[in-house]
Amino acid sequence: MKQYTGTKTVKAEPMTYGEAYKRGLIRENAYVEEYSDNKGYHVVYPDNYESWSPAEVFEDAYQVSETPLDRLNIELSDLNLKRKKLRNFIYFQNDGKDFQALPLGTRAFLVAQLDTMEAYFNLAALRQSCMEGNEECRPSGLSFEQILPMLREGFSIRRSRWNGKSLMVFKQVPAHITSEKIPNMQSLPEEAKRHILAAGDHIDYVAQ
């Protein structure tokens, strides 16, 4: 037999075994009165089928996902478990011998995967902290590789240790600069202006 992993989103509310019986969620011939105070959950599935589940069984299978923060908490918990397993396999399992026995390309992919997972986990954890504190989130501690996509999307970035709060890096917006504007451009040295005007009558900035 093969192993299967499933995911399902349901609605639920706390409900004792006895309350579930009164709601008709426990069959008459299956009801055991001595269990009436046992804790559990009234569960409603996507197809509107309703049932009762013991608390321990339900809580082992489901986590609260009502809000964006709830869903982020689940994602972080799952990602944290996966990154720890991968790190353990690469560096510690059987003293790393199992990892070293893999083909070179596979090992390279796994190391890159772990690095990406670590970076993603750190970003998600920062976002989690901001959401918990109801604060505006400002990404920090990013690597050069993480910054590039942000620049491409129009964000500006700066290093924390740069002197002067106004110093930043951003992607040049595509622009067509005509010859009458070039002499007045403060961003170009005079020698550059001379060469540009000698070679043509404009400057085109494209994804600079």
Q: In sequence order, what are the beta bridge partners of 42?
A: 13, 52
Q: Is 20 exposed, middle or buried (0-12, 13-18, 19+ CB in 10 A)?
A: buried
Q: In sequence order, what are the beta bridge partners of 57?
A: none
- Distance CA(96)–CA(15), nearest Å, equals 48
List pLDDT tens digits, range 97-128. 999 999 999 999 999 999 999 989 999 999 99
What pLDDT does residue 4 have? Answer: 80
Query: If you average pLDDT over each of 87-91, 191-195, 198-202, which comes out highest?
Result: 87-91
- Distance CA(52)–CA(193), nearest Å, equals 78
What pLDDT does residue 6 have? Answer: 78
Pairing type for strands 40-44 and 11-14 reads: antiparallel
Lowest mean pLDDT among 2-6, 21-25, 108-112, 204-208: 204-208
Q: pTM of the full predicted structure? A: 0.71
- Distance CA(51)–CA(21), nearest Å, equals 10
